[in-house]
Every structure is written in C-alpha cells, then in structure tokens.
Structure 1
C-alpha cells in the first residue's frame, strides 16, 4: 500500500506530536553547544533504561508499520527501514517474535540493530538498550553492515539489498577515515541522521571514553570501521560527517512515523529525541562557523580546597566570548574538562605534590595558552571518604531492587567514570556481563538511588530515583556479587567474588552503619545493619543515624543546582545575615535579616558555577545553573 493512502491517519494524530508542556524549559535563547548541553540535561533526567531483552516486546509499541504496507489498525507487522520498499510491496515482513541470531539471506529474521554500533561503547548499559537508536532490522543486512558507519557510497559497491540500500566504499567528501559505509535509502536518511544526533546529545559527557580514534586512514580495515565520533563532547562528529548528517536531516524532514515513534519511546523511557520535536535545533547547534583565533588564557588559577584525596581548583574565565570549556592539566597531563570555572581533581594520593594548569578552548577547538601554574601538596589524612560509598542495598521480592550510593568525599563528583558490575555463575565458573554506567553529578553529603524500574517499594517511587535501570546489575536475586567501580578499579563491593552470597545478601535490606566512612573492596557484614526483605526507610537520604544528627542543624537549602532562587527551610528566624561567596572567597551577595518576610535568596544575577552560602557561620555549597 502506498504511504499516501494513510495520510488521513497522519492528520488524525498530528495533535499528539508535541512534547509535554514544560519539557524543554530552559532552552529559550540558547544556541550552539550551550543548547546541546541543555538538551542533554533534559533528555537524561529521569531516563528509564530497560533490559536489552525487553526490546522485542517494546517494538510492538514503537515500530509497527502503519505507514507503508499496513494501515493504522496494524498490530503485528514491524517496520524495518533496512528492507522497507516505500512505493511497493515489501519482499518479506516480520513480527516481534521473528528475532534471529544469524541469517544467510534476507528475510530470515530480524536483529535488534544498534544504529550506533555497540562496539562504540563496548556494549555497556544504558547505551546498549536505548530504544531511540536500536531498531528492528533484517538480520542479514545488519550482519553485512557490521560496524560500518552510515554514509554515502561511491561507485564501488559490495552489496545492494532488496530496497536499494547498499554497502560500498566511502564517498563522503573530505572524510578519509572510513573505507566502507552503509547507505540507507533516501526515505530514511533523515531518520538515521536524527537518531545519531540524539545519541551524541544523550551521551554527552561519555563520548570521549567511547571508541572513536580512527585518526589515521592507514590503520582502517573493514573490521574496525565505526560511526565516526571525533572524541569531542560538544561537536561529537568530524566536521565532514556533520555536514553529511545535516544534509540528510534537511533533505528528509521529520515524518509522521518518527513523531509517533518519539511519543511511543517517551512512554517507555521518559525521554525524547529533541530533533524530532524541534528540527531547527540541528542547525542551531551544528550550523555555527568557528573563527580561527585561539582564545585568551584563563587567569588567577588557585587551589581553593586541599584534601588528602582531592584538590579543588578555581580560576577567572577567559575573556574570549566563544569559549565553550576548559581543559585541566595535572603534572602536564590532561585529566579532565569542564564548562565551569571550578574543578575537583580527585583520586589523589595523600602527602603528594601536584602541579596544575588550565587552558580554554573555543567552539573551533582551538586552545589558549596555559594559565598560570599552581602547585599543592595533599594532606596526609582528613575526615573525607576517599571515594563514593554504597550505603544501602535492598533485595526484596520480585523487582524490588535498589542501591543507594553516597558522596562523602568533600566535593561534587562526576559519575561518568563509575560503573556497577554484577557477577553471574556460568557452567564452570563466574562471569561479569556488560556493566551499567552511572551518569550525572552528585554533590558532597548527598545520596542517590539506582533502582529497578519495575520496583514497587512502600517508601520510595521509581520517579524519585536518580537512575532507573533493569540492566543485569539491578536484577540480582541475593546470591550475586556486586561491585561499584571507578574506571576499572573496584572501590566498594557487596558480597564475595566467585561464591554464592545468599547467606548474607538474599531477602534483606542492608544499611551501612554510620561509623563506616570509607568504601571497602573487601565485604564485611559487620559494617552493615540488616533488616527484612522489602524494608525501606530513608532511601535516598543519608543513613538513618546520620539523618538524626543532621536534624539538629535543622536547615536545608534547595533546589541544588539553583536557577533564580535558593530556598532555605528550617529554623531561619534567628539568622541575622546571609552571605554568598564564590569559590575564591569573593563576597557576591550579602543580606541582613534575610528571612524576615521570605524564605529565599535571589541568585539570578550570579554567573553559572559553584558558590558557598554562609548562614551565621554554617556554610552550604550550591551550584548556580
């Protein structure tokens, strides 16, 4: 059936094409990479990550063919963009049950196809099961595509498939780093482009850790071709590849199929593809023209906090208007980057000297000269935790699984390098399936929860959790060994590796004792208070004993991060002064009797960054968005 025959159906559902009211709050007036980062924040918040095994069933909601060979009443036949023939009957069709592990010809079954090859991110969750770019696709075509990037094929063609898509040598202008590409048909080139652009927005902050280094065309072989990330977090792709994606986005506008799929995935994952909702944002982000002038250096680099395990740095921003970030160097080695003017260098050794410099970089990725150099020697010891610590472990009935992790390090922590691992038994030993990667920022003295999205606890909802996933790490039965790792190193563990841990981890809620202030890579049940299965109290807060202690202070500030106001809750009637300092100690705001007739302090005139709120000598750190 021609797609024009279902245009009446298209008109009937156009009213549901918009994002929920307020979903994109905060994007007004933003362009360039600032807009991209804001969209990342929006579509990552409250993201629900399902198991890879859930996807075939979900395809009955997200990928039914109601647009070409079948009408709106179709409830079984999937749409496969690799084999769909838009203007005629398809040669074969699939239902969600027709999953195939391999195929020797077209029409033998479908695969769950990662439009961004899973080898890019080592098959790790949550990327491994993000429905937005994992589609049902013919198994034979998918196997032939392998890890080849999408692209424009030249005259040397190796495979041509039933709907006209093909694999050939790369003809992408000015792009030498791929030997072969898979070219979809024109009908779906925009769909592909918007899916890839979604990927680099959703996983901004992790892109530099993915497999992207194909900078030498002499090393390219068909086995290692992948989608050409360039290692940057903002631009994400090589300029020539971005040019092709923008061309595909323009020549194949958003279709009703994409609008419907966007709404269906939102119902499942609670996030959206912003380039389907607002196609103009593609050019707003990637259509800028960088200059060729290197930015000015940042100034006044100082160490604002020194600890046994971290140094917090602060500097004055570069005076150049096109700066998008700063690179931080420790003893001459790049250790991180940030858009802010503060950075905590962590995982340091006690009683050790470190030297730092900072460079600014602009939207053309030109680097400034070094800032001034600053040195610091870490303390021999202090009261802070050396790393994050697991503070609660809940193993309840069915999918009631949750882990609480707390930051007592003395500084905010970026979670992008942290992973949860779980160990499962095999026929003769034990193995670790793909890990689940954490993400976001956790402030000092705050806790967050990782929860199974099908959990049903009495005291806590899935929507309250920072991270929700049914990755293998959150399907434990109480016999498995779990690890919290920083990069490749275990920092805190539950159970003992290589054994059945049912005697200590099954059917219990374990709460870390308040006397335990450091993570441990050797598990000891003596560090934990044990409660019955499904016990759930103070989840998402500090341990129960610590909550009691903090009530004596009876002051809470929120929200954090803040946009226009910091609200102060508690015994504020005796507070005579409120002062806000930046991280260099400069006084930014001072108010006498600040809470006489209100409960908030305006911060809307502060620049984005980290600040300290001083209330009668008690200091609370917060972030201004």
Structure 2
C-alpha cells in the first residue's frame, strides 16, 4: 500500500522500532533460510489462536479505514482491499455489522477472506483464524475468487473473466516463469505489497507444516491450486516468489500496515516480520543458487534404541550451505531436520529397520545416500509409547486447560499431533476442524494448552506453551476430546458419541501416578478427580528424583545394584519377575519371586544395563 509512506531515509529504523525491544533477538547476522527459521521460532511462540467467530469483533481494531475516504477520522467503516478505490469514492462501504454468508453481487456485505485459501490447510486451527491473512473483503468477490491464487492476470479481454468495481480482476494467469495456467485474482497495485507480505508471513509462520498442506503448483488449472511447492524453506514456487518480491518492492510498507501489525500483535501476540523489517524479504529469498551437489552425510549411527523409537546421529556434510537433511526408513522418506540428529518414533517393538540420510542445499540438490544403519527395536522398554493427556481442567467460565506429557525417552516434534473434539449438534455428532500442535516437547516434560480467556488463580496464560480459543479449547464437559497423531487416536478424554457430562463437567482430572501410557479408550479409573478450577502443579519438567518413582506401581533400589535388587510396593500377587537384555531376550526368570522376600538376586549378572519386567511393568536397572 502506498499511501502515508514514511520518509525513505528513516524507513528501516522506523520499521524496526515498531517491534517491542528484544522481540527479534537472535536474528543479527542471519540470512537465507537460517534467518527464516529463526523468525519462525520467534513469531510462533505464544501466538494466540482465536476462534474463527472471534475475528469479526477484532476487525474493529485491525481493519477500519482511516487512510482513504475517511483519512484520520474516527470511522466505523472497514477497509476492503477488494473494493477500495484509493483515488476516488468507493462504490460501496461496510461496517462490522454487514457480515453475511454469501452474496449474488458486489456491495451486499462482507465476509472473512483467507488470503491463503483454507483448503490449503484443511481448515485446521491455528491457520484457520490467523488475523494476518484472514481479512474482511466483499463477499461476492471472495466467492468468485474461490481458491484461486493471487497473481498477474492476462490483459487479453477474452482471458479476463471478471473485473470488479476498483478494477481488480480474475483472469488467466500470466505470471512470468510460473507454469500455472489457471485463473488468478489480481488485486490493484495499491494492495499488492500488502498481500505479498501476508503470504510471506504465512510461509514463515507455518514452516514445519507446509509440506503437509495441499499444494498442486506449476501445471494444474484446478480451482484448488495454490503456489506452495511442498518445501519448508523456499515455500513457494520459484516463479511465484519472484512475483511476490516484485510486489513487495513496488508497493512498500505503509502506515496502515504498521498500524495493523501493531493492532494484530496486541491481539495475537505475534508480528509480521516483513512489515517490521522489509529488507528481510530479500535477505531470505534473494539467494545465490548453489549448483554443487552436496556430499553425503557420514558416520550415521544409532545412539539410542527403544521399543518404539530410535535416535540417529551423523556428521555434518562438508558443504557450507547445507540447509537440511532427509531421513529414509527402509528406503521411504519419513522425516526431515535441520539438525544432525533425530529421533524416529512410532516404530513397532522387536522389528528391524534400516535408515539412510541425505543432505540438501538451498537449490534443493540432494546428496547420495549416507551409509545405511540397521537397528532392531527392543521388545520392551521403560518409556511411554507416545504422548498422553495428563491433566484435564474445566473451571468456571473459560477456565479450560489441557496438559500433555512426554515420557517417551526422547524429544518429540509436535507438528503431526492435534486435538480434536466431538461436539453435539442436536442429535448429531460432528468433529470441527482440529487444532494442530506445534513446537517440540522434551522428554519428561509436560506442557499446557490454555484458553486465552482463562483466568486461573494458580496458572497464567504466560506460563502455558500453547494458547487457543479453537473449538477444542471450548469444551464444557459433555464432549469427547482426542489427542491424535496424524489420523490415529492416541489418547482420549470422555467416550465416543456419548454425553460425557457425568464424568467431565465442573471437574479437574489428573492422571494417576501409576498410569504412564496413553489409551484410545477412556477409562475413568485412571484419573483422580478434583474440584472445578483446581490447577496445582500444571506443566514443567520432572526432576531425576521424580522420574524414579513417577507413574510406577513399584520402587526398585538400589539402582545401580551389586547383589540384591529390592522392590517396594504391593508385590504379594506378582507372578513373574524377569530380567531381559535390551533386545528383549530373557536372561533370568523367577516365579512368585516375592512370596517370602522382597528382592531378587542379580549378583550373577554381568555388569551392564538391563530391563526388569515385573508381570506387565518394565523398569530399567544397572548392574555394577
């Protein structure tokens, strides 16, 4: 947007001054995709995800027109980039009260427009309600745009299908160096930079998820085509990126964008970095391609093995511009990372797996395969097989929180996890779009997801890892709530297709200490019940002393052990105690081991690490 530009000499300094002090700490000296990833970490932390129905109320703070027909005045008129005429009277205007569902002509009302079509991300939260690219626009133009990308329309009359009141149009794509030939929506020049910066924000904010979104670029002319290219770093097709950079350059940041960035920050608690620091667009995407094929990673090895996971480590390729690594399991791509180690989880016990790694550079040239490593997962281990819900808090008003715990033995990337809720609509049950989790949770760490309207006396919004008003965090006690990994149910609160109010209303539920595994079938006996609003000891990382006794029915000591390993707890009914190696092989067995004593003798074992299986519970022990 061009109106009310700041003086060019003070441009960069003024832009940077809009962000709170320290907001962009850690970015100094960074360029390219390393800078992009750092910005992702910054703007993703504590992003408050509001409910889609909250947005109309927020637009009165973020999208009023004080810049054109109503310059500087106290207005109630929304600024609609699809109909705004910068140099003349608009054909129509809207207030926040003119929200409608659909329209048959321009000027009938407005609705919420996803600049990046919501089919891209399956309408999931937090993408579904992000104020930076969900904006109020004319309802009819929004409908006609469908899921077409923004772009440069053909100027040939027969290839222009709609021209709107402010001369924006829908026509056949003529984006240079971009093979897509379908329809595009071309905004007027006044808003091309605004839109480009919104799309580039999307690419940064949702890095790590972009490869899971729908994309179908280059040759398709289908209505659901978008210009994502499936990569996490470059994000968009190369030809499309060039267009966005051109729009960003020719239509610099305006006062309206600065004001909107600050207003959204007050609501969402994150910022669009390309409004604060416009030069970062070039710093990230204007890179010199490297046409040298990277060398393969070396010394790939297994550093930890469990029943359901393995941790791999390797030495960095010697090329200086390596931006990432792809990991292959039995020849199939399964994961990527920017680090030189990764934990691969959701494996089956007592199974053999083969892993290789490839490096790639900023031109997306891939190395040969690394050395291959083969590993057998253990038959048993001491860890939880997956994340699990450890606390469910339902208090007065919007006091709602969920705690999730990781005791898998390794750090877990949350990108493929989501919360899904089953709501009742009359006599029908339905799942609204799920809320996707983000970030990483360390081993033995518990994190909290909280409703942004919550006001607990013992836990604050600032302490929580994720904050959302999505439907999953609006539970009232009657609903069934799931923790999912991809499309699989990992853990559940409540019972499927039932009114759960007799279990879940006005209570706080804490998973009992002897429960350390998720279950996809809710068992109320696994939970301790507390009064409404109870929220003691939410979140945090377990200390070593806590880990020894947490979530176990027995305490074993001394550990490490020389001769006799004592077992405390209700051991009278134990049928079998077995010592196993980490391949699951049985080394030693005792039947009814604690009938006349409370220990088992392990002095005959060689020094090393073992597993102690007491009926169906497994513990790790070290023999000195």
1:192 aligns with 2:195: yes
Change (3 A) 1:16 1:276: closer
Quick one: distance in 2 between partners of 1:214 and 1:243? 15
Aligned partner (choices 175, 178, 183) of residue 178 of structure 2: 175
Q: How far apart are residue 3 of structure 1 and its match?
A: 5.7
1:484 aligns with 2:483: yes
Q: Give the corresponding residue for 1:103.
A: 103
CA contact (8 A) 2:63 2:79 kept: yes
Q: How far apart are residue 176 of structure 1 and its match?
A: 1.5
Q: How far apart are residue 285 of structure 1 and its match?
A: 0.1
Aligned residues: 542
RMSD: 2.1
Q: Give the corresponding residue for 2:45.
A: 45
Question: Aligned ranges for residues 224-243 of structure 1 at < 5 Å?
Answer: 224-226=224-226, 228-243=227-242
Quick one: distance in 1 between partners of 2:17 and 2:28? 20
Secondary structure at 1:69 match in 2:
coil
Quick one: distance in 1 between partners of 2:473 and 2:74? 34
Give a deviation string over 1:229-251, Cα, whole Å, max 9, x none.
00000000010000000000000
Q: Give the corresponding residue for 1:149.
A: 149
Q: Give the corresponding residue for 2:471.
A: 472
Q: Give the corresponding residue for 2:285.
A: 286
Question: Aligned ranges for residues 108-123 of structure 1 at < 5 Å?
Answer: 108-123=108-123
Change (3 A) 1:455 1:511: same
Secondary structure at 2:282 match in 1:
helix
CA contact (8 A) 2:86 2:190 kept: yes
Quick one: distance in 1 between partners of 2:225 and 2:232? 20
Q: How far apart are residue 111 of structure 1 and its match?
A: 1.0
Change (3 A) 1:97 1:358: same
CA contact (8 A) 2:324 2:359 kept: yes
Quick one: distance in 1 between partners of 2:5 and 2:527? 64
State the TM-score, normalizing by the size of structure 1: 0.84
Quick one: distance in 1 between partners of 2:18 and 2:125? 28
Q: How far apart are residue 17 of structure 1 and its match?
A: 5.7
Quick one: distance in 1 between partners of 2:45 and 2:234? 21
Question: Aligned ranges for residues 213-252 of structure 1 at < 5 Å?
Answer: 213-214=216-217, 217=219, 219-221=220-222, 223-226=223-226, 228-252=227-251
Q: How far apart are residue 224 of structure 1 and its match?
A: 2.3
Question: Aligned ranges for residues 567-606 of structure 1 at < 5 Å?
Answer: none
Deviates more, 1:118-127 or 1:177-186: 177-186
Aligned partner (choices 194, 201, 204) of residue 204 of structure 2: 201
Secondary structure at 1:416 match in 2:
coil
Give a deviation string over 1:439-467, Cα, whole Å, max 9, x none.
00000000100000010011110011100
Q: Give the corresponding residue for 1:328.
A: 327
Give a deviation string over 1:556-589, Cα, whole Å, max 9, x none.
xxxxxxxxxxxxxxxxxxxxxxxxxxxxxxxxxx
Secondary structure at 1:168 match in 2:
strand
State the TM-score, normalizing by the size of structure 2: 0.84
Secondary structure at 1:111 match in 2:
strand
Q: Give the corresponding residue for 1:463.
A: 462
Q: How far apart are residue 178 of structure 1 and its match?
A: 4.2
Q: How far apart are residue 306 of structure 1 and its match?
A: 0.6
- Choose 1 or 2 for highest CA Rg: 2
CA contact (8 A) 2:59 2:136 kept: yes
CA contact (8 A) 1:77 1:93 kept: yes
Quick one: distance in 1 between partners of 2:514 and 2:67? 61
Quick one: distance in 1 between partners of 2:142 and 2:403? 39
Q: How far apart are residue 293 of structure 1 and its match?
A: 1.2
1:390 aligns with 2:374: no
- Structure 2, gaps ≥5 residues long: 551-624
Q: Give the corresponding residue for 2:598.
A: none
Q: How far apart are residue 177 of structure 1 and its match?
A: 2.3
Q: Give the corresponding residue for 2:74.
A: 74
1:162 aligns with 2:161: no
Q: Give the corresponding residue for 2:520.
A: 521
Quick one: distance in 2 between partners of 1:92 and 1:546? 67
Quick one: distance in 2 between partners of 1:545 and 1:500? 40
Q: Give the corresponding residue for 1:405.
A: 404
Change (3 A) 1:482 1:375: same
Change (3 A) 1:392 1:108: same
CA contact (8 A) 2:216 2:225 kept: no
CA contact (8 A) 1:149 1:178 kept: no
Quick one: distance in 2 between partners of 1:171 and 1:285? 25
CA contact (8 A) 1:64 1:74 kept: no
CA contact (8 A) 1:308 1:378 kept: yes
Q: Which runs of 4+ in 1 moved over 4 A?
A: 2-7, 14-17, 542-551
Quick one: distance in 1 between partners of 2:281 and 2:6? 28
Quick one: distance in 1 between partners of 2:5 and 2:336? 52
Give a deviation string over 1:419-451, Cα, whole Å, max 9, x none.
100001123321100000000000000010000
Q: How far apart are residue 225 of structure 1 and its match?
A: 2.6
Give a deviation string over 1:520-557, Cα, whole Å, max 9, x none.
00001110110000011001136999859689xxxxxx
Q: Give the corresponding residue for 2:88.
A: 88
Q: Give the corresponding residue for 1:592.
A: none
Q: How far apart are residue 160 of structure 1 and its match?
A: 0.3
Secondary structure at 2:199 match in 1:
helix
CA contact (8 A) 2:66 2:73 kept: yes
CA contact (8 A) 2:171 2:185 kept: yes
CA contact (8 A) 2:16 2:276 kept: no
Give a deviation string over 1:190-228, Cα, whole Å, max 9, x none.
00000000001000000000001335x2x533x3233x1
Change (3 A) 1:16 1:346: closer
Quick one: distance in 2 between partners of 1:477 and 1:75? 38
Q: Give the corresponding residue for 2:556.
A: none
